[in-house]
Each structure stands twice: as C-alpha cells, then as structure tokens.
C-alpha cells in the first residue's frame, strides 16, 4: 500500500484523468468470484470520477495523481499575510473566504484562491508552498458519494455536484425542535417531503435555499432520522442538520464546500456529523476536520468501496474520524468495502432498503455510504453537544455493544465490531 498522496506539484501541465492509474488502486481487489453481483471497481467510484472530468473539463481538471479538482482553484489555510500580498501581486485573486460567518471559530477560516490566467494550478501551488511553509495549501479536490449501489437512481458524485455556499434554510413545513439530540449530515439533497420525514425536524443548508432532492442524500438521511409505519432510522427522535454540498453543480462535493458545511454545523453546535463521501487526502480539509475534533465534534465517515487492496480514502482515514465499513445480513464484510486501521465500526450496508424520492418510495441500497449514517445515529444518542469527553465516552460505549467474531480482536475489516444490526430494514418488509 502506497503512502497517501501529498499532491506534490508537477512541472508539466495537468492533463485529463489517468483512469488506468486510478484503476490500479482497486484492481488488486478484484479476483474471480469476489464481486459476483457487482461490476468492477473501475465502473464504481473511478467511473464516476472519469465521467466528471470528461463532462466538465471547463470547470474541472486532474491533479498529478489523477484525482478531480476544481480548475484553477487553490485552498489556503493559515496563510501568512505577506504570502497573500505576494500571491495577489503575482496575479492570483481571492475567489471566496470561508468561515467569516462564524466569528467565534477563527480556526475554520480558509481562502479559496483563483490561479492567474495562463498559469498552471500545480505551479502556483508549488510557489505558494515555497512562499509560506507555515501555511497549508492544496488543490480543491472533488469528493464523491461512497455508495456501491442505489437501485433505480444515481449515486452522489456522478450527477449531484455544489454551487456557491448559501445561508441555512429550514425545510418547508418542518416540525419544531423536539429537544432531542442533534445530528449532522454532509451529503447531497434530502427529499423532505418523503413520508419517513413527516414530523421530523430537518434544518437545511446550501444551494441558496433551493431544494435539490437526491436519491443518495435522501437514503442516508432516512437511515439517520426517518420513521414511518414500515421504516425506522437509527435516531428518529433527533433533529437533522443537513448540508447539501452538491446542488447539481459540476464543482459539487469540493473540499471547500465540505469545509463550509462543517463550519455551519460547528456554529450550530451539532456534535455528531455524518459524511458518506470519499476522496483523496487534502491538507486544508484535514485542518478543518482537526479543528472540529478539538472542539469536541464527532465526525463519522464511510470508508469507501474501492476494495480491500485500495489505499485509504478520506475523510474516513483522518485521525480521530470514526471510519465505518459495511456488512451484509449475515455479518460478512462487503467484498468491495475498504479495509485498514481507519475502520472503527461496521454496520448493515447490504440486503436492506432506504427511502427514495419518487416511486417506489423505498429502494435497495448497498455500500459503506449506508452503514455510516447508522453509526452516526447511534452515537448521537449519547452526545448532548460538542464535547471531547462525551465523544470518547460514546465511542467506548458503542464499542462495548459491538459484536466481534472472537469477542475481543479489533480488526481491519470491522474495527471494534458490528453495530446496528437491528436497524437493517429487509426489502421484504416494505413490499
């Protein structure tokens, strides 16, 4: 397993995506008969990545490792004022400033810089790093949904992608807070009109207040707070704070949108936050994640479906993030699920259904995307607000409940063990 990418700049122009190079990450996980009911890894996340770059070359490009990034944008965290002045004098400009709406959270502030016309993103990135070794600079990477499958719909990242950051907007007709726990979601849009959300309180953020319902976001949200006669999520009593970072824009799911959503959730003091999305390591995003953890927020993330031999995906692999894998109804780890020390828990992620926009109202889902929200929902019931002590206690308590094959070993497949088995909704129960 190679070390995670640190996105070293290249002296040559960044061209289109190197699908073969990316494909090598998951190729080792495909053996005869290992994925009998799935297409190859190439046609999962990597195929989404390739489609994004081919369809949106005007706004996206590839970094030196072949990962998609927003064209000519650089993220800057902790930038020295002198370095900023030099960068502006050399033709860069400030595209956006993140975190200014959270004055009490200065560590969440970040700049999005626009590279000068005629300059290569990687070259300017190298220049900024040389000017300011104490700052953190990186590409504005794109992150995609970590679903292996969502029958009858697209998964986040293939078609659901974000516009400019917007102010929080309460969903139409949502109920008042019930005084229960708060749980956060960073994903694509949620269809709040679905029957499972009747009576739920869902506070929405992003997309300039305009709803963009998505199959992926709706399914994940339902597994967290949904409830109806035939369906129950992990924490139906919780208030959901849902950030849509896609909004059907070609640059959706970018690192700066994730950072802005996390800043909003921090400002709302949402203790437990689920991220069912995956992508490469990003230095600026890692600092934002670390800043939330220092304030006592608990981040839960899907480990991804690139296969057991693939390198770590992020944000699940950042230190302190609760990485979640997926198992089937027999407790077997899904063959496409990632393995490694980043796995802290496993939860149901196959032979199950969740809510979906339109008809049918419930559809089969598969992947680590749908295991992570169950773990986030369970953890949210033990954390009243951002608190490092409460977060640690909640993880320890859930670990004691987890089921392990030998009762003791912490493994790279299921971490502390399997939780939430009773929350799996069998497809036969909603027919």
Average pLDDT over residues 399-421: 91
Q: What pLDDT was estimated at residue 108?
A: 92
Active-site residue (options: 153, 228, 369, 380): 369
Maximum separation of any 2 CA atoms in the chain, in Å: 64
Closest CA to 371 of 325, 306, 422, 423: 325
Q: Please report which confidence band the pLDDT of residue 139 belongs to, taking 50, 70 and 90 as the band edges.
A: very high
Whether 369 is catalytic: yes
Q: Which of 13-22, 212-221, 227-236 has the lowest mean pLDDT?
A: 13-22
Q: Pick the range with the lowest mean pLDDT from 119-133, 148-162, 192-206.
A: 148-162
With beta carbons less than 8 A apart as the criterion, state whether 65 and 7 touch: yes
The CATH class given to the 144-151+180-423 domain equals: alpha beta
CA separation (Å) from 292 to 289, 295, 324, 391? 5, 5, 19, 12
Per-chain mean pLDDT for the chain: 85
What number is the average pLDDT over the span 218-245? 96
Mark whether 146 is an active-site residue.
no
H-run or E-run covering 104: none
Question: Which two structure tokens, joined as six digits, stand for 372?
Answer: 């992570």
Cis-peptide, bond into residue 305, ω within 30° of zero: no
What is the pairing mode between strands 136-141 and 272-275? unpaired
pLDDT at 178: 59
pLDDT-derived band at 150 (thresholds 50, 70, 90) equals low
Distance CA 73, CA 205 (A): 23
The size of the chain, in residues, is 431
Question: What pLDDT band is residue 283 in, cutting at 50, 70 and 90?
Answer: very high
- Confirm if 424 and 348 have CB atoms less than 8 A apart: yes
**What pLDDT does 250 receive?**
81
Q: Is the pLDDT assigned to residue 161 strictly greater than 50?
A: no
Give the residue with greater pLDDT, 36 vs 222: 222
The catalytically annotated residue of 63, 132, 187, 239 is 187
Whether residue 387 contacts residue 398, with contact meaning beta carbons closer than 8 Å, is answered with: no
Task: Tell the CATH topology of 60-141.
Answer: Alpha-Beta Plaits (3.30.70)
Residue 10 has pLDDT above 90, yes or no: no
Is residue 369 within 8 Å of residue 323, measured between CB atoms? no
Q: Give the pLDDT of residue 246.
A: 95
List the catalytic residue out of 56, 141, 216, 297.
216
Is 58 a residue of the active site? no
Domains 60-141 and 144-151+180-423 share a fold: no
Q: What is the chain's alpha carbon radius of gyration, rounded to the nearest angstrom?
A: 20
Beta strand 343-348 with 322-327 is parallel
**Across 50-59, 119-128, 361-370, 403-412, least confident range:** 403-412
346: its two tokens: 């496993």
Q: What is the pLDDT of residue 3?
A: 37
Strands 322-327 and 298-302: parallel
Q: What is d(CA 122, CA 12) in angstroms, rounded to the nearest whole number?
A: 9
**Domain chopping of the chain, boundaries:** 60-141, 144-151+180-423
C-beta of residue 299 within 8 angstroms of C-beta of residue 373: no
């Amino acid at each position: 397993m190679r070390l995670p990418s640190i996105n070293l700049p290249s002296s040559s122009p960044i061209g289109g995506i190197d699908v073969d190079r990316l494909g090598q990450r998951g190729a080792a996980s495909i053996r005869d008969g290992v994925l009998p009911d799935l297409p190859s890894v190439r046609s999962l996340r990597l195929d989404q990545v390739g489609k994004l770059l081919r369809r949106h070359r005007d706004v996206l490009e590839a970094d030196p490792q072949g990962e998609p990034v927003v064209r000519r944008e650089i993220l800057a965290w902790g930038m020295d004022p002198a370095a900023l002045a030099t960068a502006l004098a050399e033709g860069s400009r400030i595209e956006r400033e993140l975190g200014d709406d959270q004055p009490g959270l200065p560590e969440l502030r970040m700049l999005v810089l626009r590279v000068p016309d005629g300059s290569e993103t990687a070259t300017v990135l190298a220049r900024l790093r040389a000017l300011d070794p104490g700052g953190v600079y990186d590409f504005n990477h794109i992150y995609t949904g970590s679903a292996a499958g969502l029958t009858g719909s697209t998964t986040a990242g293939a078609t659901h992608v974000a516009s400019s950051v917007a102010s929080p907007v309460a969903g139409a007709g949502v109920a008042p807070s019930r005084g229960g726990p708060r749980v956060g979601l960073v994903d694509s849009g949620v269809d709040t009109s679905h029957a499972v959300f009747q009576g739920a309180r869902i506070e929405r953020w992003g997309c300039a207040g305009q709803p963009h319902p998505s199959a992926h976001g709706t399914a994940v949200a339902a597994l967290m707070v949904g409830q109806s006669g035939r369906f129950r999520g992990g924490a139906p009593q919780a208030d959901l704070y849902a950030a849509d970072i896609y909004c059907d824009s070609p640059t959706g799911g970018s690192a700066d949108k994730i950072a802005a959503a996390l800043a909003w959730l921090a400002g709302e003091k949402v203790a437990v936050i689920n991220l069912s999305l995956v992508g490469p390591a990003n230095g600026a995003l890692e600092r934002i994640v670390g800043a939330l953890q220092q304030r006592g927020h608990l981040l839960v993330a899907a480990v991804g479906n690139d296969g057991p031999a693939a390198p770590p995906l992020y944000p699940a692999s950042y230190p302190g993030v609760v990485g979640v894998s997926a198992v089937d109804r027999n407790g077997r780890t899904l063959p496409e699920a990632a393995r490694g020390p980043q796995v802290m828990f496993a939860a149901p992620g196959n032979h199950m259904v969740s809510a979906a926009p339109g008809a049918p109202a419930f559809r089969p889902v598969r992947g680590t995307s749908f295991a992570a929200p169950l773990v986030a929902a369970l953890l949210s019931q033990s954390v009243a607000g951002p608190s490092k002590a409460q977060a640690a206690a909640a993880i320890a308590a859930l670990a004691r409940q987890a089921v392990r094959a030998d009762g003791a070993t912490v493994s790279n497949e299921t971490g502390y063990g399997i939780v939430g088995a009773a929350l799996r909704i069998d497809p036969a129960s909603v027919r």
